[in-house]
Amino acid sequence: MTAIDETAVQVVADTEPTPVVDVTDVWKLHKLGDEVVKALIAVELKVMPGEFVCLMGPSGSGKSTLLNIIGGLDRPTKGTVSITGRDTATLTESQFAALRHDTVGFIFQSYNLIPFLSAVENVELPLMFQPYDRKALRKRAVELLEIVGLGHRIHHQPTKMSGGEQQRTAIARSLISNPTLVLADEPTANLDHRTGETVVRMLRDLCSTLGVTVVASTHDPTVADEASRVVRMKDGQIV
């Protein structure tokens, strides 16, 4: 009987999905003169496939710092971060860059669109200098713009688009490489309430329709309302 129970436990363990994000005892320290600022303190976080996780807290709580460390835009002072089961501390800069390129999509608060490129060219940009078939890339970019409701704006430059349209273009761009994980830093910060709600529902739908895992940092309750899980942060810690 004992042997059967142990086998059953082993089967459950073997079929448990690998976390898309696994943050273990992560610290981030900054030195300002003689003072050491603790931006993150012993942070632990697991994000499973298909989750929409909201990091919520006031400015200075550490949520954007944690998001940047998860995405490899910054490195922790101490601790480990694994993305889809790969410990990023063991990767060279070029290996980490390749993992980030293939696995992670980014959505920035300020959109980060190139003003002289059209919407479709901005969406193509992450893969524009990669050995991809140009027609296939354009087809994929147009499809993504259609998914976010911008099929009629593909040739418009950012200066001819509203803030909501620019953010939806940024969402489409984040998906061009078929990422497993999308990181969104304050995705509604520059949007009015109604447009923000539209953008957040779009992020939620990415999880359910495309199977993308989303981690968003915000102080906006609208984002938290649509998330599958809210992680609250204060003074560099998860509270």
DSSP state of 239: -
pLDDT tens string 127-154: 888 887 889 999 999 999 998 999 999 9
The first and second tokens of residue 180, run together, are 């497993």
Can you name the residues that pair with 83 across neighbouring β-strands?
21, 86
Can you name the residues that pair with 22 across neighbouring β-strands?
46, 82
One-letter amino acid at 82 equals: S
For 7-146, where are the E strands, in sequence order?
21-32, 35-47, 52-56, 78-83, 86-87, 104-107
Cα 56 to Cα 170: distance, rounded to the nearest angstrom: 21
What is the rounded average pLDDT for all residues in the chain?
89
pLDDT at 5: 60
* Element housing 199 (H / E): helix 193-205
Strand-strand pairing, 237-238 and 35-47? unpaired
* Element housing 173 (H / E): helix 163-174
Cα 99 to Cα 158: distance, rounded to the nearest angstrom: 29
Instruction: State pTM to two decimals.
Output: 0.88
- Name the residue ranges covered by the structural domains of the chain: 48-76+86-238
Fold of 48-76+86-238: Rossmann fold (3.40.50)
The percent of residues above 70 in pLDDT, for the chain, comes to 94
Question: Looking up tokens 């400015």, which residue turns up?
Answer: 59
Could you give the dihedral angle defined by the CA atoms of residues 167, 229, 20 and 239, in that order, rounded to the nearest 10 degrees?
110
Q: Mean pLDDT check: name the lowest of 5-19, 49-63, 144-158, 185-199.
A: 5-19
* Element housing 55 (H / E): strand 52-56
- CA 230 from chain center: how many Å? 15
**Nearest alpha-carbon partner for 165 in 95, 113, 93:** 113
Question: Would you say residue 1 has pLDDT above 50?
Answer: no
